[in-house]
Structure 1
Amino acid sequence: MTMLDRVLFVDDEPNVLMGFRRELHGLFDVSVAAGGQAALDMIVDGAPFAVVVSDMNMPGIDGIHLLRQVKKIAPDTVRIMLTGQADIETAIEAVNEGSIFRFMTKPCPKDVLVKSLRAAVEQHRLITAEKELLEKTLSGSVKVLSDVLALTRTKSFGHAQRVRRVVQQLISFLGIKNAWEIDVAAMLSQIGCVTVPDEVLLKFYRNDEVTEGEKQMFEAHPAIGAELLQSIPRLEGVARIIAYQQKGYDGSGVPHDDVRGEAIPLGSRLLKLAIDFDNYTMSGASQLDALHKLRRKRAQYDPRALDALGKIVAEALVYEIKKLHVDEVTPGMVLGADVKTKNGVLLVPRGHELTATLLWRLRNFTTIGVIDGSVSVLVRAENPSVNQP
């Protein structure tokens, strides 16, 4: 049996609602709401509606204000105004305020109503299909860029993975909603590094001495990354976050402009903190020492984010390093030490999150004798005893 499209009718007259259900039975999956607030509750708490048809004059929330709210909380739902007052001012306000698909007057003949509803349902299908296509295209673009980074700059890819993990913890701790742009920005934060030589990147990741030319080369990578992304639909916000990832809360760093404090994108502030934290830990500092180093430069960081990182580090201290055979390791575990060949060549740096693909590679290396088959991973300590940092 074909699933019927869900349509919600909103009116303060029960007889009118009963009439809609009777006339449209078998044509649409009809729900009714006796007023604006009841309609909003149904939209928020239930399955999505393809179409909402609202009366204009209702006590409490009128049709215009209702459809305005529907547009905010369910933007894909197509909105129709059906009213007995067909004055031109009402129609203009309804269209301007609620992005109305159709404006119809009561009484409305059944054939006209059905035709309008079918057109609205088709519009909903077009909207959702276009959205799905865009999301799949966007997801594919992000994956391709991430794979390019993994293949061409393995150290930068590992750096981005670790930074992303810290950013995700900050997002969760700070209760940031709809943070997909920040997450994607963290994943692609190092994409501009494809233009920077490996030896220069390594110096920065280790906090080694660099020449002025190397400094300028590295400082350009956020702008290059942002330029690569800003032409991709829906990634404009991600591009801006990446462009400001080296900008200090006090206005220091690049870009060299007057932007500072809360004017810096929130995602950029989180990235700045996570990147510097990772640089310190990867150059040999413990997480606690890295946190102390950041606090000595606290003017460069968002104070709420820095405080959150302190609490995250305190929780992380209850983990310990445990040596496991590669066959005991599962995807998602994090390396507590570098994985090196028997000849001392670095394969995977500590802090790297192990994926299923990477585990297969390590098992293959074990089989042919390149590594001894044991890896060190982080596991939660059974009897943690730590102090707040």
Structure 2
Amino acid sequence: MNNRVLFIDDDERILAGFRRNLHGSFEVDTAVGPEAGLAKVRESPAYAVVVSDLRMPGMDGVAVLSKVREMRPETVRVMLTGFADLEAAIGAVNEGNIFRFLTKPCETSYLVGALTAAVEQYRLVMAERELLEGTLRGSLRMLSEVLSLLRPEIYGRISRIAPYVRPLSRLCGDPSPWQTEAAAMLCQMGFIILPDAVISRVERGRTLSAEDAATYRQHAEVAAKLVANIPRMGGVAKAIAYQEKNFDGTGFPQDAVRGKELPVGARILRVLLDFDRLVSAGAAKAEAYKTIKQGAGLYDPDVVVAFGEVLGEEGKYVIVPVAVKSLRDNMILAEDMFVTRGGQQLKVLPKGYALSSVSLAHIAKLARYDPVTDPVKVIVPSGD
């Protein structure tokens, strides 16, 4: 369990006392002054609790804990001060959402009790978040599985971009990476309303007529509205809504949002989706990335640079042939998979598809009646 506690104070002697008295009860870290404290919150692994003195030069504890809340909303915040005035307490609670307000000098036993309660509060917050995220991921996986059955070619795109989402979110400093992962899973849901002819033209990189272009533009809006009906999915819906929006503000939806105002998830999807379209159209990955880099105004330059780093990590994966009976969840197809029926080959799943329990059951059912590609080439980590 995380019991890391950061104390922020401008008096080194007080900080030394905290380290001495609380050592063994908590994993104590200290920072001299507000700037050093905020730097540790930003750069270090998450703290369960941050305790800040109220009166410090340059920035008071209310402002410090408000910034802590912005950077690490799950971290529990405690105010400690020798000036126990009501106005300061009210300001701290209202502006920083403080868990406890303690006065100096504070007896060690009382401080230990307060910090123990704060760590428990952190545990409850994290448990609730893990439950929420787990429930949402399960629901989203179900929706994406439905899409995989209705539009396997489109789901293939989702499967191909999925491995890039998490590392790219991390490099881009995404504050809500799970939302971006969810947006990537559901960003193509709106394709269910598009005619096959429009999808075919888009996938082949063909120029769309004005009427087809207007129809195509509806897919992001439709997907965003569907997702917005799920509680606490507003951020995911917004990322989906802006997935086709250019960094310079052009594209759709046609509004004033541009640049860093666009959700980071939308900026990540903009790069990944166009990259996959280029690769699917026949471009080598290096060539596709070069095209992305040259797309001035289309993409967030920071996301493009980070994506280059992610692509450099792909050398850690290899392509190997695997017998159909040995296929497992999360293996990624390195080639199209076919079934032979009536003398004709019919595509079952596309290259780049991430296998799941549903698709594996579907493959097993097909294999009972007709020959399927066996073995099939899949992408696995090079250490496997």
Same fold (TM over 0.5): yes
d(CA) in 2 for partners of 1:176, 1:229: 24
CA distance 1:141–1:59, shift in 2 (3 Å): same
Instruction: Give 1:75 shift.
Output: 4.2
Alignment of 1:154-303 (within 5 A): 154-168=152-166, 170-171=168-169, 174-178=171-175, 179-208=177-206, 210-288=208-286, 290-291=288-289, 294=292, 298-303=296-301
Deviation larger for 35-44 or 293-302: 35-44
1:22-68 deviation per Cα after TM superposition (whole angstroms, max 9, x unaligned): xxx9xxx578788867996998979955x677765689997656655
Unmatched tracts of structure 2, length 5 or more: none
Instruction: Give 1:262 shift.
Output: 4.2
The RMSD of aligned alpha carbons is: 5.0
Instruction: Give 1:255 shift.
Output: 1.5
Instruction: Give 1:132 shift.
Output: 4.2
2:371 maps to what in 1? 370
Number of equivalences = 372
CA distance 1:306–1:129, shift in 2 (3 Å): closer
Deviation larger for 147-156 or 83-92: 83-92
d(CA) in 2 for partners of 1:108, 1:335: 61
Instruction: Give 1:98 shift.
Output: 3.7
Deviation larger for 306-315 or 92-101: 306-315
CA distance 1:163–1:207, shift in 2 (3 Å): same
2:352 maps to what in 1? 351
Aligned to 1:325, which of 313, 323, 326? 323
d(CA) in 1 for partners of 2:15, 2:316: 61
Q: Contact 2:46–2:75 (CA<8 Å) still a contact in 1? A: no
Deviation larger for 63-72 or 215-224: 63-72
d(CA) in 1 for partners of 2:8, 2:245: 50
CA distance 1:331–1:60, shift in 2 (3 Å): same
Instruction: Give 1:347 shift.
Output: 0.1
Q: Contact 1:9–1:52 (CA<8 Å) still a contact in 2? A: yes
TM-score (norm 2): 0.70
Q: Contact 1:53–1:81 (CA<8 Å) still a contact in 2? A: yes
One-letter amino acid of the counterpart of residue 276, structure 2: D
Q: Secondary structure at the match of 1:239?
A: helix
Structure showing greater radius of gyration is 1
2:136 maps to what in 1? 138
Q: Contact 1:36–1:66 (CA<8 Å) still a contact in 2? A: no
Deviation larger for 372-381 or 36-45: 36-45
Work out which structure has the larger RCO, using CA pairs closer than 8 Å and 6 or more positions apart in sequence. Answer: 2
Q: Secondary structure at the match of 1:345?
A: strand
Unmatched tracts of structure 1, length 5 or more: 382-389
Q: Secondary structure at the match of 2:376?
A: strand
Q: Contact 1:36–1:58 (CA<8 Å) still a contact in 2? A: no
CA distance 1:363–1:117, shift in 2 (3 Å): closer
Deviation larger for 249-258 or 55-64: 55-64
